[in-house]
Amino acid sequence: LPDGVNISKEARSAISRAASVFVLYATSCANNFAMKGKRKTLNAGDVLSAMEEMEFQRFIAPLKESLEVYRREQKGKKEARKDKDKKADSEEQDKSREEENDDDDERMEEEEQNEEEEVDN
């Protein structure tokens, strides 16, 4: 809202109800498109088609832009998770190698001690 604008409680309530009705109507229209496609899940295409059917074409371009931004963010998060998982796997492998080397060192020391004991006997 612009600076200096005050809204009464009644107006807030009316805007809230109007937004709820709009969302319900848009969801109903989008659901019709999903049902035509023999699907139970709404997708972004259904919502965009609903906006067009409801004659809210001016919302389509901003919605598409927002959808693209969202998808890029999700892709970035997914790639970051993959990188993190790869790094964790790499660190686990390094730890395993270190533990194996430590175990080998301990076995060698035990063998050397056993050989020294056998020589002493």
Burial class (CB in 10 A: 0-12, 13-18, 19+), 47: buried
Judge whether residue 6 has pLDDT over 80. Answer: yes
Chain centroid offset of residue 45 CA:
20
For 59-70, how does the pLDDT look when each residue is reduced to its tens digit (9 = 90+)? Answer: 999 999 999 999
pTM value > 0.75: no
Of residues 49 and 116, more confidently modeled: 49
Judge whether residue 121 has pLDDT over 80. Answer: no
